[in-house]
Amino acid sequence: MRARRTARWATSALVTTLALTGVLAGSAAASGPAATQGLTRSVATATGPVTHEENDRVPEGSLWTQHYFPSSDRSGTELHADVLLPEGLPKRAKVPVILSVGPYFGHSGQSGLEGWTHTGPSDRFRDFIEGTDLFDEGYAFVMVDLRGFGGSTGCLDWGGPGEQADVKAAIDWAARQPWSTGAVGLYGKSYDAVTGLIGNNLDQRALKAVVAQEPVWDMYQYIYSNGVPRPNVTGTANAYNSIATLGQLPDDDPRYVANSRYEETHPECLTQNAAGYRIADQDDEFWTSRDLAKAARGTDTPLFVTQGFIENNTKPEEMQEYLDNHRGPERGWVGQWEHVRGGDRTSDGRLSMGREGWYDETLSFYDQYLKGIRPAVRHPAYSVEDNTGAWRAQKTWPVVERAVTVPLGSGSYIDDGGLSASAATSAPAPRQGVEPSGEWHMENAPTTDRAAPRGLAEGQALLQEAGAVTSSFFVWSEPLRKAVRITGTPRVSLTAEGEGNVMLKLYDVAPDGTAVMFDEQVSLLTTGRLTVDLKATDWTLAAGHVLAVEVGSIQTGSWRDTPSGETIEVKGARLGLALDDPSDDIATGGARSPYLDTYLRQYTVDLPAGPATFTVLAGGRL
């Protein structure tokens, strides 16, 4: 962390300069009860600000106050805000506001009780506050509890119209405070990155910039995959109901404590929240009102996003649709990592995303759009890491040099969840022992995806070559003459005869017969034409490698599907790909993200290339 700098707005001797040294090791480096060993415990009110010296949970260099205001939907919902202003801010001085709106700002803990002995503002984004020297840089930081969480009343409404009204109210409230310049920027990761996307969609004049790390781009996709339930179809509702009913600390503001108990007198809130997740129809109003990607059409708030293409929690589904619909300035870090923040580090000190400068770049982004300060450093619009671990700079994402549609032909499979394949190959049952989690939310998701059983893919391919119909079939390309990158969102279309489930996978097959599964998606299937978008990806196939496509029953992963047992006939399958030429990449700073090697170990299988039936790049040119 760099030395704390003297605040630009400082005009009095009340401001002191603090020199902070050391390396920030992940987002929890300065968080938790262990970081606050003192006995100070003053509680802030709207008119009674509290400093770090009066309550050691207040970040150094700030003044903490608590406030309440109504949501914008006239429902009677009262929202709670923790405000952190720069300490020593002169009277009548105004500062821009960094705002975060979400469920994780409860004073007793983010997603569970954290052992605090006295109340104080959440330290959820202490890493961001300290990494940017936020208060010395002349910003306020405001945390607003969504309805039903922390000190806010009302029934939970996961990404829905109620929460959208909360985000609107929070932006308006932050903009009109006497200490605010009226310029607001949203910041968050995971759920409070979702509220950042919501904020952009609302298109409010006061919102000048959004930083959204690892969001969900369409809420439906977090619970279902084209009608197939995910393991968290009940767990996510349970998790947020649990967070909403967390006990708060008895020494807190009485109004805060009373609001935190809202569900005790409104138990219907928990039941209603759980009911919504059980709606499987993507076209139901419950989900169309939560389709953030579609709602982004024509929006123009400056947007800074991060997305791990291979992460197992908030996956890159409808990501490209959201970005295509967004018309404003964009910045992005996208690459091969798990569910982490831009400044997070692994236990051995390596940056989880592999790239230096997260806090400097986000501060520069806010300075540009909230203060009108021209950036001193010209950062790439998009910094992109592909599966080779190399970073490149781009003006946008994806960069598509050629779009192709390749024929995959026809085939058959039995929708049996992999039973016929495992029986014929003597491989273990593909998903034996995988149990859905009881609780699962956007900040913390268990890793339930299991690697494919050893020998399963290769065994199925051999059975297919012998003419057998099992749980899936494969199609292979000609070896590539030159390296080519698959980017954007691959799309498969096919005509099916039969009913059940379909799983679609893409493999990068090396000459030695090892293959990495790098993209997948599942869907319910009925007789007729079906089109399925896979996850967004950014994967370079080396020269001599083969692209393999698997079509079949859901055999791996963590979906809660119900196999139909039917034999599914597939005809006229086609794969749409967006291609990019890696030979003209413009390199930018960044190291290989540590999680990439973990992913490669888990998803590499034996799958020698079979008879080629299509060419990825006809003519060999992009």
Q: Decide: 236 and 200 in contact? Cβ < 8 Å.
A: no
Q: In the chain, which residues have pLDDT < 50? A: 1-31, 34-39, 432-434, 437
Q: Which residue has the tokens 């139909």?
A: 564
Read off the pLDDT of residues 221-255 as tens digits, 9 standing for 90 and up.
999 999 999 988 888 999 999 999 999 999 999 99
Distances (CA, A) of 85 to 49, 59, 335, 372: 9, 10, 34, 20
Q: Is the dihedral of CA 100, 186, 18, 34 positive or negative?
A: positive
- CA angle, corner 122, sides to 121 and 123, nearest 5? 115
**Across the chain, how many H-helices and E-strands are there?**
15, 24
Dist. CA 320–CA 462, nearest whole Å:
36
**Helix locations, 408-562, DSSP H:** 419-425, 456-465
Tokens of 8: 């630009």
Dist. CA 353–CA 591, nearest whole Å:
8
Query: What is the predicted pLDDT for the residue at 545?
Result: 98
Q: Decide: 584 and 621 in contact? Cβ < 8 Å.
A: no
Mention every residue, 6+ apart, whose C-beta is less than 8 A from residue 475: 408, 409, 411, 548, 549, 551, 573, 613, 614
Q: Which residue has the tokens 């909403």?
A: 244
Read off the pLDDT of residues 471-523 as tens digits, 9 standing for 90 and up.
999 999 999 999 999 999 999 999 999 999 999 999 999 999 999 999 999 99
Distances (CA, A) of 615 to 5, 479, 612: 57, 8, 8
Query: What is the predicted pLDDT for the residue at 1?
Result: 39
**Most distant CA atoms of the chain, gap in Å:** 84
**Which among 385, 204, 205, 225 is positioned nearest to 310, based on CA atoms?**
385
Type and span of the H or E element at 294: helix 292-295
Q: Which residue has the tokens 């199609």?
A: 475
Compute φ and ψ for 416, nearest 5 degrees. Answer: -125, 15
User: What pTM, to 2 d.p., does this model score?
Assistant: 0.92
For residue 587, list its beta bridge partners: 392
- Pairing state of beta strands 78-86 and 140-145? antiparallel
Q: Decide: 396 and 586 in contact? Cβ < 8 Å.
A: no
Dist. CA 590–CA 245, nearest whole Å:
42
Type and span of the H or E element at 119: none
